[in-house]
């Protein structure tokens, strides 16, 4: 439809005196002009033309009609022409308004149609994405009526229950639910009605082949375009996860039995294994006292070797027992002031510290951290005790304990000026039974640093050493705040 067509027809009808076509053409020419110019300019032109015509007519009437008639003919255009032109201008104005309104309406319609097309395209795109997600989701998805009948399901759900979509639409979720889960199902439906969602909860589905499959479900209540309520459900097959959980429980039970066996072994090691060693050591002492002069120097040396071996074996059993105990005692963590722990260690080692003229100092205030107090004492006593043991005889031993904050951890360092450690042994020394020196040089079983490593890792930290041979070592471990 051409904008403004009805307005132009109105002008033709309003000005129809047998000259509709001519006036229609004139209106088309005058339409773009301003209304003020049309009215005043048109009035002047109409009056001028009308008066010329009226003057000629009036002159022709003179002497033939009364004066009042030819006078009226002369002056009539002064009134009629402006009036007709005013009507014409008013019609043109209405036509312009009508055309503007129609143009605006058409523009709005075009904009609305474009916007609607964009919305429809976006809706189609989103629907395609949702449909693709529905079809390709690894989790089962299904839509049911409130009475439980199935409307649609994705391939993953069909794989779980073993039905095709046509068979499934003739069933409800009650047909797939074993009787023993009926009460749980009713409880979840009550929750769905009250809250608009249910789950997650676990139950079983009855497959088409009769097998039971464990599943985990959750879902929500939604309303469709038709106003009907539907239940959307997400279903996960938890067969593998349950198998993993059962295997984990079995491993946990096995580990608990192993720990119990280890506890029993520790008891045996601390009592039954040490008893023969004590007997060997005691009888070697008796032999030495009673038959020392008889066996001579060589026999006395053999007896001394036997006693020393029994004592080393006894100490080794004790160290193994101590190593096995680390982390097995379920003691709660509590704030442990490490400064107090260092003071206690220094008191325990005071005879050796005094004997060798050593000094132990805390360079910075040590923090209180969540830990097992006894294990912290054992850790620091092993590190400070090693510093005393592996001192450099040519200079006084100096041990410095310090702490530095590193994010959520504390770095605790025990530095000494002892004999040091070669860098290639910086990891080996933390392994059990690893010694860098013979027993003739230094006593020990090679378990102390392994115990330190086990304590630190049990508390969620790590331990390492930086050392320069001949200058000293710095053992550093981290503990969470």
Confidence (pLDDT) at 137: 86
Condensed to tens digits (0 to 9), the pLDDT of residues 409-439 reads 999 999 999 888 888 877 888 877 666 554 5
H or E stretch covering 410:
strand 409-416
Residue 455 near residue 447 (C-beta atoms within 8 A): no
pLDDT at position 256 over 50: yes
Alpha carbon distance 402, 408 (integer Å) = 17
Q: Give the Cα separation of 337 and 343 in Å (integer).
A: 10
Q: If we measure between CA atoms, which residue out of 111, 92, 112 comes closest to residue 100?
A: 92
pTM of the model: 0.48
Terminus-to-terminus CA distance in the chain, angstroms? 81
DSSP state of 138: S
CATH assignment of 331-480, given 3.40.50.300, 3.30.565.10, 3.40.50.670, 3.40.640.10? 3.30.565.10
pLDDT digits (tens, 9 = 90+) for 279-334: 888 888 888 888 777 777 888 888 887 877 777 777 677 766 766 666 655 677 88
Are 58 and 75 contacting, i.e. CB atoms less than 8 angstroms apart?
A: no
Non-local CB neighbours of 7 within 8 Å, separated by 6+ positions? 91, 94, 95, 96, 98, 99
Q: Are the C-beta atoms of residues 257 and 239 closer than 8 Å to each other?
A: no
Q: Which residue has the higher pLDDT, 429 or 191?
A: 191
Within 10 angstroms of residue 261's Cβ, the number of other Cβ atoms is 10
Q: Where are the domains of the chain?
A: 82-136, 137-242, 245-322, 331-480
Residue matched to tokens 């304590």? 455
The owner of tokens 């092993």 is 382
Question: Are 39 and 86 in contact, with CB atoms under 8 Å apart?
Answer: yes
**pLDDT (average), residues 349-371:** 87
Coil, helix or strand at residue 399: strand
More confident residue, 2 or 131: 131
For 3, 386, 390, 400, the CA distances from 418, given in Å and listed in that order, are: 104, 10, 6, 12
**Tokens 């053992």 — which residue?**
475
At residue 64, the pLDDT reads 55
Q: Residue 12 has what pLDDT?
A: 43
Query: Looking at the chain, how many residues does it have?
Result: 481
Q: Are strands 398-406 and 359-362 parallel, antiparallel or unpaired?
A: parallel
Query: Within 10 Å of residue 341's Cβ, how many Cβ atoms?
Result: 22
Mean pLDDT of the chain: 78
Is the Cα torsion angle 246, 250, 251, 252 positive or negative in sign?
positive
Would you call the peptide bond into 303 cis, given omega within 30 degrees of 0 as the criterion? no
pLDDT of residue 46: 60
Helical packing angle, 5-14 and 20-30, nearest 10°: 130
CATH, domain range 137-242: 3.30.450.20
Residues 74-85 have a mean pLDDT of 57
Contact 145, 231 (CB under 8 A): yes
Residue 16: per-residue pLDDT: 44
The pLDDT value given to residue 391: 84
Q: Measured on CA atoms in the order 50, 52, 55, 56, is the torsion positive or negative?
A: negative
Cβ pair 169, 149 in contact under 8 A: yes
Structure confidence at residue 234 as a pLDDT band (50, 70, 90): very high
Look at residue 58 and tell me whether its pLDDT is greater than 50: yes
Q: What is the 8-class DSSP label of residue 369?
A: E
77 vs 49, 66, 73, 74, 274, CA distance in Å? 9, 19, 8, 7, 144
User: 472 versus 288: which is more confidently predicted?
Assistant: 472
Q: What is the mean pLDDT of residues 213-218?
A: 93
| Residues 6 or more apart in contact with residue 197 via CB below 8 angstroms | 191, 218, 219, 220, 221
The count of C-alpha atoms lying within 13 angstroms of the C-alpha of 250, restricted to the half-sphere facing its C-beta, is 6
Please tell me the predicted confidence (pLDDT) of residue 78: 55
Q: In whole angstroms, give the CA distance from residue 397 to residue 353.
A: 9
Strand partners, 221: 231
Taking only Cα atoms into account, the Rg of the chain, rounded to an integer number of angstroms, comes to 53
Comparing CA positions, the residue from 436, 455, 435, 454 lying closest to residue 445 is 435
* Fold: same for 137-242 and 331-480: no
- Is 50 exceeded by the pLDDT of residue 14? no
In this predicted structure, the answer to whether residue 168 has a pLDDT above a threshold of 60 is yes
pLDDT score at 171: 92
pLDDT top residue among 60 and 330: 330
d(CA 93, CA 34): 9
CA-to-CA distance for 460 and 481, rounded, in angstroms? 10
Distance, C-alpha 359 to centroid of its chain: 51
**Residue carrying structure tokens 């129809």:** 16
Ranked by mean pLDDT, which of 65-79, 357-371, 416-430 comes out on top?
357-371
205 or 39, greater pLDDT:
205
* Whether the Cβ atoms of residue 202 and residue 238 lie closer than 8 Å to each other: yes
Q: What would the DSSP string read from start to end of 248-294?
A: HHHHHHHHHHHHHHHHHHHHHIIIIIHHHHHHHHHHHHHHHHHHHHH
Is the model's pLDDT at 164 over the cut of 70?
yes
Backbone angles phi, psi at 32, to 5 degrees: -75, -15
Where does the pLDDT of residue 9 fall: very low under 50, low under 70, confident under 90, or very high at 90 and above?
A: very low
At residue 412, the 3 state secondary structure works out as strand
């Amino acid at each position: 439809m051409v904008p403004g067509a009805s307005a132009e027809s109105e002008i033709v009808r309003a000005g129809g005196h047998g000259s509709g076509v001519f006036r229609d053409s004139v209106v088309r020419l005058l339409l773009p002009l301003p209304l003020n110019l049309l009215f005043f300019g048109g009035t002047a032109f109409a009056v001028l033309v009308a008066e010329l015509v009226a003057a000629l007519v009036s002159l022709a009437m003179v002497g033939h009609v009364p004066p009042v008639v030819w006078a009226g003919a002369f002056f009539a255009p002064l009134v009629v022409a402006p009036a007709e032109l005013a009507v014409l201008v008013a019609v043109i104005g209405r036509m312009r308004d009508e055309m503007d309104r129609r143009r605006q309406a058409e523009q709005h319609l075009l904009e609305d149609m474009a916007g609607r097309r964009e919305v429809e395209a976006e809706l189609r795109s989103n629907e395609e994405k949702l449909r693709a997600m529905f079809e390709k989701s690894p989790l089962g998805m299904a839509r049911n009526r409130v009475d439980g009948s199935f409307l649609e399901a994705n391939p993953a759900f069909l794989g779980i229950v073993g039905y095709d979509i046509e068979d499934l639409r003739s069933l409800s979720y009650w047909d797939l639910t074993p009787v023993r889960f009926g009460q749980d199902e009713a409880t979840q439906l009550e929750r769905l009605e009250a809250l608009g969602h249910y789950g997650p909860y676990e139950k079983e589905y009855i497959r088409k082949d009769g097998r039971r499959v464990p599943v985990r479900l959750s879902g929500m209540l939604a309303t469709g375009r038709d106003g009907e309520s539907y239940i959307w459900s997400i279903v996960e097959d938890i067969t593998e996860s349950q198998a993993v959980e059962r295997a984990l429980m079995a491993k946990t039970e096995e580990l608990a039995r192993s720990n119990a066996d280890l506890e029993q072994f520790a008891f045996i090691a601390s009592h039954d294994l040490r008893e023969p060693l004590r007997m060997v050591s005691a009888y070697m002492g008796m032999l030495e006292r009673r038959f020392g002069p008889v066996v001579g120097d060589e026999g006395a040396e053999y007896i001394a070797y036997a006693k020393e071996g029994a004592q080393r074996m006894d100490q080794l059993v004790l160290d193994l027992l101590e190593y096995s105990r680390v982390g097995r005692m379920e003691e709660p963590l509590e704030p442990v002031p490490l400064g107090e722990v260092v003071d206690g260690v220094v008191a325990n080692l005071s005879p050796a510290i005094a004997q060798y003229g050593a000094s132990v100092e805390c360079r910075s205030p040590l923090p209180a951290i969540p830990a097992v107090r006894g294990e912290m004492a054992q850790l620091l006593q092993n590190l400070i005790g090693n510093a005393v043991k592996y001192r450099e005889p040519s200079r006084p031993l100096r041990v410095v304990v310090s702490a530095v904050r590193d994010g959520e951890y504390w770095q605790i360092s025990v530095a000494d000026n002892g004999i040091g450690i070669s860098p290639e042994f910086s990891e080996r020394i933390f392994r059990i039974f690893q010694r860098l020196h013979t027993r003739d040089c230094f006593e020990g079983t090679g378990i102390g640093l392994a115990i330190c490593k086990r304590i630190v890792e049990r508390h969620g930290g790590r331990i390492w050493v930086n050392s320069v041979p001949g200058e000293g070592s710095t053992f550093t471990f981290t503990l969470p705040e």
